[in-house]
A and B are shown apart, each in its own frame.
Chain A
Amino acid sequence: MNCELAHERIVTAAYGELSDELTHELERHMAGCPECQKEREQLLALKLLADANPVLEPDANLVARSRLRLEEALDALPPKRWYEWLAQRMVNNYSSLQAAPVAACLLLVAGAGAGSLGGYEFAQGRAAHAAATMTQPAGAQPQPVVAAAPVEIANISSIVRQPNSGMVEVRYNQVVPQQIQGSLDDPKIRQLLMVASENSASAGVRDDSVGLLAAECRASHSCQAEGIRDALMVALRYDKNEGVREKALKGLEPYVAEDVRVRDAVLEALLNDSDPRIRTAAINILEPVEADTSVRQVLSTVANSDRNPHIRTVSRQVLSRVPEIQ
């Protein structure tokens, strides 16, 4: 250590800013250096002398006077306007944004890491599940996977929680789209057509199915009372589409004479159907059985009180022919 460096360190040591190690080094230097010892003495003398100019506590009057003056100045300041607050906030935010790139990079790295880890865990889970499904014995209870199934869930038939475990058994039905081809005489096809005539949400499908069933009946192809005829009567009574009802009515035409239930269905259509064309068609269909009491009653009711003048006229015409026929 040279004396110049020692002089600097004497100052820092005198003010308690020198580390223990450097202080020790300084002491060793000064032990053999009278000039540096003198330097230290002079510095300590300066410190002593400087204390002759002590720091005094401010006078209470000075404090009170200063505070009063400050309060007056603060009171005189105009209140900050909203845009000043906003500007200050923006300046602060801008300053904090200066550190944003680092934070953004850290977030990006952390996000990428978490994403990779999550993806890896998910892939592991799926692989394990696939392996478990593959190795499952043939007789074991199938464990359906709902999420991956391409079919719709029709309904849930039961939910049973297995005792003393977190396992739950859910029985459900799936809607699996399928198709079938076959002859109109095929019972399966007919069954599907009858289901379609009653349940399909699409008027077009109902129209097609009822049309086909009606054509079968008109051709007298196995139009059993319990099967197709029932389906046509239901369509005539309840279908919302007049086209469907009209086809059903035509399909039922050959059975008006022999089947009382068909006759009643046609009479109901004559009385209640909202479409005049169907009611008119019903009158025409009923002609073979117009002498029937129930038919005559309905015809006379319609002839007297139907809102539609055409239907009233047609009904009267039919009724007027009855005596001649008899």
Chain B
Amino acid sequence: MDGPKSAQERMQARAPEMELIREAQGGSRAAFDALVRQYEQQVLRLALHLTGSEHDAEDIYQEAFLKAYRYLGNFRFECSFYTWIYRIVTNLCLDQLRRRKTRREDHAVILDHSGDEIDILASVSDERSFSNPAKELDRKLLGERIQAALTKLTPRERMVFELKHYQGLRLRTIGEMLNTTEETAKNTLFRATKKLRTQLAGLR
């Protein structure tokens, strides 16, 4: 549990970062570069996993940090910088997922790192068993099937599931990042798991 001591320790641990932010707000490019290096791995990891495309991940990275640079002056330390930068990234990812959803509504299509499209559902048999997937599908194909199921979620459900299941964030933090409440995030997660189970039920 977060006691007052741990909160104080957290503040102390964040002190160098806060100093960097203040310097960057004062116009220091070096300080901003240091902040980018601190968060770029996490930003790319999230964007890459969500979009499944290196190209899109690179675009999101670019746009997110440019936005951060432009609006850093508005950051008032009311939340952690981690939450703030993630909020920017998740919004950009949501936009990307929404664009993709309208483009490929009925196609379970994903991109590999070179940008080539692979239609996973077309390559997976519905008769295969969910109870013993290791025997039926190799791990790569199973992953691709999961990705296909994830594309059936709404962008918001996809995002909450991503942040909870894959990034391991607390529901409260997810609520903060998506400008909503913990309760709403919990309900969204519940809906996402239900949909995913329906999507993947054919594997049983």
Contact = CB atoms under 8 A, between A and B. Distances in A.
A in complex with B: yes
A257 interface: no
Contacts of B139: 52
B190 A88 contact: no
A73 interface: yes
Nearest to B71: A88
Contacts of A63: 40-41, 44
Given A11-B190, A17-B171, A55-B49, A47 B74 contact: no
Interface in A1-35: 7-8, 11-12, 15, 17
Contacts of B73: 85, 88-89, 92
Interface residues of B, number: 48
Nearest to B164: A15
Interface string B7-34: 0000000000000000000010100110
A62 B54 contact: yes
Contacts of B165: 15, 47, 50
A24 B133 CA distance: 32
A66 B40 contact: yes
B142 A52 contact: yes
B189 interface: yes
**Chain B interface, >50% SS class:** helix
A58 B41 contact: yes
Given A62-B57, A80-B27, A50 B146 contact: yes
A64 to B, nearest CB: 10
B111 interface: no
B44 A17 contact: no
Interface stretch (B61-69, B80-88, B96-104): B61-69
Given A15-B164, A46-B200, A70-B36, A92 B76 contact: yes
B58 A65 contact: yes
**Chain A interface, >50% SS class:** helix
B150 interface: yes
A91 B74 CA distance: 8
A45 interface: yes
Contacts of B32: 74
B40 to A, nearest CB: 6
Contacts of A67: 36-37, 40
B101 to A, nearest CB: 18
A11 B49 CA distance: 22
A54 B143 contact: yes
Contact of B61 (A49, A55, A70, A95): A70
Given A15-B165, A63-B40, A49 B146 contact: yes
B146 A53 contact: yes
A69 B178 CA distance: 27
Nearest to A84: B73
Contacts of A181: none
Contact of B57 (A43, A58, A70, A91): A58
B37 to A, nearest CB: 8
Nearest to B49: A55
Contacts of A15: 164-165, 171, 189
A78 to B, nearest CB: 12
Given A53-B147, A88-B74, A73 B66 contact: yes
A71 B62 CA distance: 9
A52 to B, nearest CB: 4
A92 B72 CA distance: 11
A297 interface: no
Contact of A57 (B41, B164, B197): B41
B197 A42 contact: yes
A283 to B, nearest CB: 88
A103 to B, nearest CB: 15
A180 interface: no
A56 interface: yes
A74 B66 contact: yes
B193 interface: yes
A43 B190 CA distance: 10
9 contacts: A17-B186, A49-B133, A52-B139, A62-B48, A69-B58, A70-B61, A89-B73, A92-B76, A95-B76
- Sorted nearest first, the 3 A-B pairs with minimum C-beta distance are A58-B44, A53-B146, A88-B73
